[in-house]
A and B are shown apart, each in its own frame.
Chain A
């Protein structure tokens, strides 16, 4: 499996925020991808968009609820088309299947089309250890491979790289003349990789969808590398998560409508390639062998959890990343594993374990923008809350996220807020004591630099203690609002001590 650094989210995100180049790159996410997405939705009208989202969601929900049934259908239909289907419970098993195929078919060179699952499996080092030369062929993935890094975005893996970075990489690693001309660099990659497609014995791809009815693997791309990987080499291996099944070929229509629009704002991508088995005997070209590897690797844990199953709806469009105020600040690498952003904050803990990803469910302001942007209506904030609950209630001390003191304070807070008398006493105390206590360094009236509250400094270091207002809503209600004549809404007095930071 890919290296897991999910436990370092806090540290990594602090570094990300201070990285000016990364911040510049992340600026393109909201302004670029998300603006295009919104324009695409406006074009089809929000009403139509909503019906598409609901259709896409319900197809996914149905398929996941009967996943065993559809997996079996995929198995039967791929087999019927002359391909082979392999199942892998773990990343190691998936890698072993590829290794076996590579050994027995004497594979020397492999070309890869973008696959997040192969990132998850950390397949490339396995192939290299077997003496196979591996070329990522998606331009972004190729850049990342040359830099020996991991993707930082679901659809734009090299988002964090500047053109200067790429120019440097191409001249150092490939010996090309240094140029910062983006078109020139893309052309160089085309020329370099063109021969590899035809020399390679093996093409590896992911799958955006697998159609159960026909046993068809669907790849959605813009560059054309996916077409070459699945057409030129003598063997094609598709590797994907077991959740990617959809029942019928006709279900594809709605996903081809929502996925490109959500990812890049395109009406459709340049290419959609649908592969059913290997080349037929009278075909002009195409691979002689077709293998499909379906990977669990922790997904059944999500399937088994009714609160989190819906996260398997994800079609990896990246819309939730592009709109997330946290992702837009910390970038993809801070999340510490293959899947970044709001959806990653759910998927990673479930696939690598909550114990190692305690910070991720908290990497959200719960603003809900991700939920509204999601083309398959995954309720991300609700699931993040659920994961937080799992963390704070866990009987396993190694999983339990919050220290006992936090829990104690939280319980005290609940008690206080659910008892009007207690709350009103606390208000009066606070109101009367806040000025006399202004000498305390964390007081809102403190003249000097404000310091975090002791004991809960983690929480208060970025939040100031608010001032207590002169009158509480309770008091205003009692004195004025409850007595106002019915039908006419009274003017609500504005508190004189607002808690502006």
Chain B
């Protein structure tokens, strides 16, 4: 497999030489671990069985897990709104946009936006909603400029983790890395089916995807928990240093 592609040597140590010096530090010849690492030995059916258990646990305990997600998200710094339905969610977004006084917003292309007619509600306010999808008419650069000019970035959640109050985003076609990062305010819409209980659950599901997708992980996996923050000057907390200062999370209930 090592021949695949391969990296040209730019003045570093050739791979085999580097590895053999590591081996000599370890005092042995090339060898796989004597006792194989259990996680790396799992087959696709093993992973599927565990994923099934995770889903089962989620179904059985969903109300509790959603409560935990809400609690942890608040602790993590999200402004959480538990929407009673789509109208309520849209109302929250509208009042947020109104209170921020923004006229340009940008949103990712995720399934949640197909479910609730947010675009029309915002457009009715006279607010521009730019969708992240490169078409013939939208170059990378113009999209980037639009994101930079936006006062609010809207995303769904590819997953959400109850353990930590985290929104997980996997940038790909239709989902820019920058929408949840560059505008000063981020609004994430989370559906109940996006939520998993623990970090371990999430990584198991990602591994299942990876292995069932012929080893394709996607280029980026991003966890967001609360606003951007720093305490680099005199250990004093400041929010909104390079990323959003204000983050909102609407948890949709059904």
Q: B56 an interface residue at 8 Å Cβ cutoff?
A: no
Q: How far is the CA of A183 from the CA of B237 in the complex (A)?
A: 9
A-B contact list, 22 entries, CB within 8 Å: A68-B23, A69-B31, A69-B33, A77-B215, A80-B1, A81-B216, A84-B7, A84-B8, A86-B10, A88-B12, A89-B21, A93-B11, A139-B230, A158-B233, A161-B233, A198-B148, A223-B242, A224-B241, A268-B223, A277-B219, A283-B172, A296-B21
Asked if A268 meets B233 with Cβ closer than 8 Å, knowing A93-B11, A96-B11, A276-B219, the reply is no
Interface size on A, residues (CB 8 A): 106
Binds A, one of B61-69, B83-91, B151-159, B200-208: B200-208
CB pair A248–B219 under 8 Å, yes or no, is no
CB pair A286–B220 under 8 Å, yes or no, is yes
Asked if A72 meets B207 with Cβ closer than 8 Å, knowing A28-B235, A79-B6, A248-B40, the reply is no
Q: How far is the CA of A45 from the CA of B27 in the complex (A)?
A: 40
CB pair B7–A225 under 8 Å, yes or no, is no
CB pair B7–A79 under 8 Å, yes or no, is yes
Contacts of B219 in A (CB 8 A): 81, 275-280, 283, 286
Residues of A within 8 A of B (CB): 25, 28, 32-33, 62, 65-69, 71-72, 75-77, 79-82, 84-89, 93-94, 96-97, 99-101, 137-140, 143, 156-159, 161-163, 166, 182-183, 185-187, 189-190, 193-194, 197-198, 213-216, 222-225, 227-228, 230-232, 242, 247-253, 256-257, 264, 267-280, 282-286, 293-294, 296, 300-301, 303-304
Contacts of B9 in A (CB 8 A): 86
Binds A, one of B96-104, B115-123, B175-183, B187-195: B175-183
Contacts of B11 in A (CB 8 A): 93, 96-97, 99-100
Contact with A227, one of B24, B37, B181, B238 (Cβ below 8 angstroms)? B181
CB pair B1–A253 under 8 Å, yes or no, is no
CB pair A162–B234 under 8 Å, yes or no, is yes
CB pair B233–A186 under 8 Å, yes or no, is yes
CB pair B243–A213 under 8 Å, yes or no, is no
CB pair B25–A270 under 8 Å, yes or no, is no
Q: Whole-angstrom distance from the CB of B7 to the nearest CB of chain A?
A: 4
Contacts of A250 in B (CB 8 A): 39, 200, 203-204, 207
Q: B44 an interface residue at 8 Å Cβ cutoff?
A: no
Given contacts A87-B12, A270-B229, A284-B174, 10 further A-B contacts (CB under 8 A): A65-B33, A75-B15, A85-B15, A87-B14, A100-B11, A138-B232, A182-B238, A247-B37, A277-B217, A296-B18
Q: Whole-angstrom distance from the CB of B16 to the nearest CB of chain A?
A: 9
Residues of B within 8 A of A (CB): 1-2, 4-15, 17-27, 30-33, 37, 39-40, 72, 75-77, 132-134, 140, 143-144, 148, 164-166, 171-178, 181-182, 198-200, 202-204, 206-207, 210, 215-236, 238, 240-244
Asked if A270 meets B224 with Cβ closer than 8 Å, knowing A214-B210, A232-B178, A253-B203, the reply is yes
Q: How far is the CA of A272 from the CA of B20 in the complex (A)?
A: 33
Contacts of B174 in A (CB 8 A): 284
Q: How far is the CA of A93 from the CA of B11 in the complex (A)?
A: 6
Q: Whole-angstrom distance from the CB of A84 to the nearest CB of chain B?
A: 4
Contacts of B181 in A (CB 8 A): 224, 227-228, 231
Contacts of A69 in B (CB 8 A): 31-33
CB pair A88–B13 under 8 Å, yes or no, is yes
Q: Most B CB atoms within 10 A — which of A69, A279, A282?
A: A69
Contacts of B13 in A (CB 8 A): 87-89, 93, 296
CB pair B172–A280 under 8 Å, yes or no, is yes
CB pair A284–B134 under 8 Å, yes or no, is yes
Contacts of B8 in A (CB 8 A): 84
Contacts of B178 in A (CB 8 A): 231-232, 285
Asked if A223 meets B243 with Cβ closer than 8 Å, knowing A80-B4, A271-B224, A274-B220, the reply is yes
Q: Whole-angstrom distance from the CB of B98 to the nearest CB of chain A?
A: 24
CB pair B243–A285 under 8 Å, yes or no, is no
CB pair A256–B217 under 8 Å, yes or no, is no
Contacts of A93 in B (CB 8 A): 11-13
CB pair A198–B220 under 8 Å, yes or no, is no
Asked if A76 meets B4 with Cβ closer than 8 Å, knowing A88-B12, A249-B207, A273-B222, the reply is yes
CB pair A72–B4 under 8 Å, yes or no, is no
Asked if A222 meets B229 with Cβ closer than 8 Å, knowing A79-B4, A227-B181, the reply is yes
CB pair B177–A231 under 8 Å, yes or no, is yes
Contacts of A82 in B (CB 8 A): 5
Q: Whole-angstrom distance from the CB of B181 to the nearest CB of chain A?
A: 5
Contacts of A257 in B (CB 8 A): 199
Asked if A94 meets B12 with Cβ closer than 8 Å, knowing A86-B7, A250-B204, the reply is yes
Contact with B217, one of A81, A252, A300 (Cβ below 8 angstroms)? A81
CB pair B22–A223 under 8 Å, yes or no, is no
Contact with B220, one of A159, A185, A276 (Cβ below 8 angstroms)? A276
Q: How far is the CA of A139 from the CA of B232 in the complex (A)?
A: 6
CB pair A242–B231 under 8 Å, yes or no, is no
CB pair A300–B25 under 8 Å, yes or no, is yes
CB pair A282–B173 under 8 Å, yes or no, is yes
Contacts of B148 in A (CB 8 A): 198
Q: Whole-angstrom distance from the CB of A263 to the nearest CB of chain B?
A: 11
CB pair B25–A301 under 8 Å, yes or no, is yes
Contact with B173, one of A253, A264, A284 (Cβ below 8 angstroms)? A284
Minimal Cβ-Cβ distance residue in A for B210: A214
Contacts of A214 in B (CB 8 A): 207, 210, 215, 217
Q: Most B CB atoms within 10 A — which of A84, A89, A157, A231?
A: A231
Q: Whole-angstrom distance from the CB of B219 to the nearest CB of chain A?
A: 5
Asked if A68 meets B22 with Cβ closer than 8 Å, knowing A94-B12, A97-B12, A223-B229, the reply is yes
Q: Most B CB atoms within 10 A — which of A166, A225, A231, A284?
A: A284
CB pair A75–B2 under 8 Å, yes or no, is yes
Contacts of A213 in B (CB 8 A): 39-40, 207, 210
Contacts of B224 in A (CB 8 A): 270-271
Contacts of A87 in B (CB 8 A): 12-15, 17-19
Closest 5 CB pairs of A and B: A224-B243, A140-B232, A87-B18, A96-B11, A224-B242
Minimal Cβ-Cβ distance residue in B for A62: B37
Contacts of A230 in B (CB 8 A): 220
Q: How far is the CA of A85 from the CA of B8 in the complex (A)?
A: 9
Contacts of A85 in B (CB 8 A): 7, 15
Q: Whole-angstrom distance from the CB of B143 to the nearest CB of chain A?
A: 7
Contacts of B223 in A (CB 8 A): 268, 271-274
Contacts of A278 in B (CB 8 A): 219
